[in-house]
Structure 1
Amino acid sequence: MKVVFMGTPEFAAICLERILESEHEVVGVITVPDKPAGRGQKLSQSAVAKLAIEKNLNLLQPEKLKNIDFVKELKTLNADAFVVVAFRMLPKEVWQIPAKGTFNLHASLLPDYRGAAPINWAIINGETESGVTTFMIDEKIDTGNILLSNKVEILNDDTAGDLHDKLVEVGKELIIETLNGLEKGIIIPKSQPEVAEEKAAPKIFREDCKIDWNESLENIHNKIRGLSPYPAAWSLLKVNNEEKQIKIYKGHFEFAEIDSGKINQIEFEKVIIKINHTQGHYFIEELQPEGKRRMNAQDFINGLNDKSGFQIV
């Protein structure tokens, strides 16, 4: 089939590369316009744009998806299907164009975790499984008829990065399976089941990433791994009444009885950073102090002149 691919990040680029390896023909690639980034404000390309240029594909980067000229150009490509992975919400003028329809690959088992950050929220909420779903795009967000899905296991110490890598491997194959099924007319779209309690996956903002040390150790651990490596959970560190921010990327916890007077104090034991919690201890393995690089606990401890007076806020 002739395919137009739409996407932005690395997850999408890996999926595009898999389609290029298949029997399907990519006649167009749509991604976001290049944007200024960094201190020098140099134009930065999306991962999908970089791959499209490298492979000499027909690349379109419209500012507005409803632009009349852009919609006309899409129609001239005569694609059988549009494939969407981690892109913007499409207007009806766009998704209704191809004869076989427009489908999206979503990084959850729909109807669970509709929204912008399904990978993060699945781990933050302590799920033990996730997956990918292909579904037909309609006028709402992530509510269209389901085509295919596939599950993956979430291990106890999997981070959002680990789950991302698992899902992209399963997802890129599900896209090919979906394209093959649509071409042969053997996939029957099914409406999404009703759920008693919706598990949402809204966009994550900075304040969502702050650790609340009054939460249970399990919830704190899930938050840290669910936001690692990006955007990263953070906390304030108080050193002799001076507050500094740290990002925490990796850790583990142990239940224990703690003296109430030591709650929220930080102890250093050779290569160990230990936070005293009402339920026990949280051990920080990887962190990033404000203004410095990401490092392991030993490197952080080695850089300290004075190891007293540390508290978590």
Structure 2
Amino acid sequence: MKLVFCGTPQFAVPTLEAVIAADHDVALVVTQPDRAAGRGMEMQPPPVKRVALERGILIAQPEKIKNNFEFRTQLEDIRPEAILVVAYGRIIPQWMLDLPPLGCINLHGSLLPKYRGAAPIQWAIANGENVTGVTTMRLDAGLDTGDMLLAKVVPIGQEETAVDVYECLAAVGAELMVETLCGLADKSIFCQPQDHSLATLAPILKREDGLIDCTRIAQSVYDRWRGFQPWPGAHTTLRGKKLIVHKMHVTAHPTGGEPGTLFVQDNAMLLVCANDTAVCLDEVQMEGKRRMSAAEFLNGYQIKSGERLQI
């Protein structure tokens, strides 16, 4: 097929490479503009753009697309059979949805209608789900509300973070997109409407989502830490300063103590959570200081059992 591919981050790269390997004609790659990043704040191209440059594919990086006449003319001249959209990061306007005969095909990082929104992978893990998956769908004017095409279930390991699941779903999704294009070409797959009554939302992450809430049970605190990697992570306040928790695990702890209380046990730092549960803070970083193991931190800051976090 002649395709236009819209995508920006690393999550979209395996799909772009897979459709190229499947001998589809990617006539144009559409990605977001280069952004300043890193300590030097130098302009950095999106990962999808890097692949397009290596492959010699024409690239477009419009800042806006809804009323962009030049961009619309470019797509109309290409006359793609389908437009693929994978983590592009822009709302697709109606004129673009209507352009290709097979529609705009989106790869979404959840099992729709669950976890519609900007952060489906993160929220699935943060909510303690045991499985997630990827879904291909035809985009419409709503937020991830279009008809589904294919889906594949992927288990979530109990110790996997969003970074781990992100990489897995990117690879599985790439295969599913190729399978979807084959099915559309030979008319062996059909659209299936979503049951909107089952929809749950996965809103864009905020810095506050990383605040450790000790009134939750330990498993929930740990799941949120897993889901919110690498950002916003997990943080709290100790002695009036921000304390970032880089690693943690669920553990048993001495009985007694209110949520937010620290216990020191054999060079381990335990944090009491709700319902007499606890997490072990394995690696932490005080505001303005370097990352430390729990043993280093306990020794350096002379933490004593019974000290409380500010919650």
SS at match of 1:312: coil
Read off the aligned partner of 1:250 and give its amino acid letter: K
Please say if 1:109 is aligned against 2:105. no
Aligned residue identity for 2:70: D
Cα-to-partner distance string for 1:104-123 (whole Å, 9 max, x where unaligned): 00000000000000011101
Q: 2:266 aligns with which of 266, 269, 277?
A: 269
Quote the Cα distance in structure 1 between the aligned partners of 2:122 and 2:96.
29
Q: What's 1:164 paired with?
A: 166
Residues 194 and 262 of structure 1: CA distance in aligned 2, closer, same or farther (over 3 Å): closer
- Where 2:29 maps in the other structure, the secondary structure is strand
Question: Would the aligned equivalents of 2:236 and 2:242 in 1 still touch at CA under 8 Å?
Answer: yes
2:242 corresponds to? 245
The residue matched to 1:185 in structure 2 has which SS? coil
Q: Distance in 2 between matches of 1:262 and 1:104?
A: 43
Partner of 1:56: 56
Letter in 1 for 2:84: V
Which structure 1 residue ranges, 4+ long, deviate > 4 Å from structure 2? 292-296, 298-302
User: After alignment, is 107-116 or 207-216 more displaced?
Assistant: 207-216
Paired residues of 1:33 and 1:63 also in contact (CA < 8 A): yes
Distance 1:171 1:294 in 2: 35
Residues 1:260 and 2:257 are matched in the alignment? yes
Aligned to 2:191: 189
Instruction: Indicate the larger mover: 164-173 or 228-237.
Output: 228-237
Distance 2:54 2:298 in 1: 44
Extract unaligned runs of 5+ from structure 2. Answer: none
Q: What is aligned with 1:78? A: 79
Structure 1 length as normaliser, TM-score? 0.90
- TM-score normalised by length of structure 2: 0.91
- Match of 1:187, as an amino acid? I
Alignment-mate amino acid for residue 217 of structure 2: S
Q: Which residue of 1 aligns with 2:237?
A: 236
Q: Secondary structure at the match of 1:250?
A: strand
- Counterpart in the other structure of 2:288: 291
Matched letter for residue 272 of structure 2: N
Deviation, structure 1 residue 38: 4.0
What CA distance in whole angstroms lies between the structure 1 residues aligned with 2:136 and 2:208? 31
Q: Does 1:2 align with 2:6?
A: no
Identical columns (%): 37
Task: Give the letter for the 2:302 counterpart.
Answer: D
Q: 1:263 to 1:181 in 2, by over 3 A?
A: closer
Which moves more between the two structures, 61-70 or 292-301? 292-301
Aligned length in residues = 306
Secondary structure, counterpart of 1:127 in structure 2: coil
1:151/1:262 CA distance change after superposition, 3 Å: closer
Matched residue SS, 1:170 = helix
Specify whether residues 118 and 135 from structure 1 end up closer, same or farther in structure 2 by C-alpha distance, changes over 3 A only: same
Q: Counterparts of 1:36-55 in structure 2 under 5 Å? A: 36-55=36-55
The 1:41/1:158 distance shift into structure 2, 3 A limit, reads closer
Partner SS for 1:201 = coil
Structure-1 separation of matches of 2:293 and 2:207: 23
| TM-superposition CA deviations, 1:137-170 (whole Å, max 9, x none) | 1111100010000001112222111211221121
- Rate the CA distance shift 1:306–1:14 in 2: closer, same or farther, 3 A: same
Deviations 1:251-303 (A, max 9, x none): 21224452337951242633x3322345133112233432345554455456x
Contact 2:107 2:136 in 1 (8 A): yes
Q: Distance in 2 between matches of 1:102 and 1:124?
A: 30
User: Following TM superposition, by how much is the alpha carbon of 1:41 offset from its aligned partner in structure 2, in angstroms?
Assistant: 3.1
Q: Which amino acid is the alignment partner of residue 232 of structure 2? A: P
User: What displacement does 1:15 show?
Assistant: 1.7
Question: What secondary structure sits across from 1:260 in the alignment?
Answer: coil
Over the aligned positions, Cα root-mean-square deviation in angstroms equals 2.1
CA 1:263–1:116 in structure 2 vs 1: closer, same or farther (change >3 Å)? closer
2:175 aligns to what? 173
| Residue aligned with 2:105, SS | strand
Residues 190, 232 of structure 1: alpha-carbon distance in 2 compared, 3 angstrom cutoff: same
Secondary structure of the 2:197 match is: coil
Change (3 A) 1:294 1:20: farther
Three-state SS of the structure 1 residue aligned to 2:23 is coil
Change (3 A) 1:84 1:292: farther
Shift of 1:312: 2.2
TM alignment of 1:6-25, pairs within 5 A: 6-25=6-25
The gaps in structure 1 that reach 5 residues or longer are none
